[in-house]
Structure 1
């Protein structure tokens, strides 16, 4: 994984890139953190969030964003199960990204993996100054025009698999294999890495 210092400096660089680009009409800037499973996207998203909530006004922003003005969305909450990558991207676009781009409040329903159904609704008001989205698919072609910055995280397959099984358990190996095939096809089709503003190798 990235060292804490390297991750913090990379988070700062990603935010710097985003701040140089116009916000959506509602005033929100969207940062996407994409890459294959086990590459450290969730951890890096937390570092980006921490950096954002620690910002002070410097002429680019009026004041430090409050926690309520920095929203984080995990793609895991949108996938409808282990075969749901393809379905989640249109959901992110139609339920979250496009409403914000049109100056409207956004919302999505969290997928309950245990029950196999969508559960409670989560609101993302257009008063949010920052939205950090992390997970496979958030840098897809349909999403990219609305982004202020896109990061791509990667690591070798062995390292990523080890991290995933350490987190989820050996019983999840078949699920990981299913998911790996989906994300491989998705990234080949979308060429997400080629459009990233920042590429980080977390396997070093």
Structure 2
């Protein structure tokens, strides 16, 4: 993890003064856990969770809001402000600030989507088959979210069919029994 953190710090900025690093993969693939560990290895880098940007009404139609509220201010070197979505209350919370930092991780399904790729310094893909990812996600979320998952899997299939991320991944991340293995992705060396 330290070697990956050092590699990311050496990249040129990709969004104003920031090196935006996308962590994408299927729901349940371990993106949040990995991003948290990578953020710690980066000395406490901020993590923008796309679950805070998406909503029940906009599972994947949030890119315009993300660009306006987060990407454009960061590209100017300004502090971004976005309103995190509360999935239980089904409403957006008061705005949260996201100041420019040397590295900011953008974690969530769709972090490598077409609209965001021009702003990413690197795209990492959690290499876990979708059915296995979804089974992990369902187990994590429990019976309370069973109905949501039924709709989610269909929406995720449509999203990745129309706007795949994995072919553009610079690095593939596999979770091991202890730690992670990071390998070159399909876009490595482009």
**TM-score calculated relative to the size of structure 2:** 0.83
The separation in 1 between residues aligned to 2:119 and 2:134, in whole angstroms, is 31
Contact 2:16 2:76 in 1 (8 A): yes
Q: Does 1:147 align with 2:120?
A: yes
| Structure 1 residue 74 displacement after superposition | 0.7
**Which structure's relative contact order is higher, taking Cα pairs within 8 Å and 6+ residues apart?**
1
Query: Could you say which structure has the higher helix fraction?
Result: 1
Unaligned runs of 5+ in 2: 178-190
In structure 2, which of residues 65, 68, 72 is the aligned counterpart of residue 94 of structure 1?
68
1:160-184: CA deviation from partner (whole Å, max 9, x where unpaired): 2331122111232221121111111
Task: Tell me how large the CA RMSD over aligned residues is.
Answer: 2.1
Matched with 2:180 is none
The corresponding residue for 1:173 is 146
* Cα separation, 2, equivalents of 1:173 and 1:111: 20
Which of 19, 43, 47 aligns to 2:33? It is: 43
Residues 26 and 134 of structure 2 are in contact (CA less than 8 Å); yes or no, is this contact kept in structure 1? no
2: CA distance, partners of 1:26 / 1:19? 15
Question: In the superposition, relative to structure 1, how do residues 196 and 85 fare at CA in structure 2: closer, same or farther (>3 Å)?
Answer: same
Determine if contact 2:8/2:103 at 8 Å carries over to the other structure: no
* Residues 5-44 of structure 1: per-residue CA shift (max 9 Å, x gap): xxx36xx33x344334321464211111001101110011
The 3-state SS of whatever aligns with 2:157 is helix
Runs of 4+ in 1 over 4 A off after TM superposition: none
Length, aligned pairs only: 177
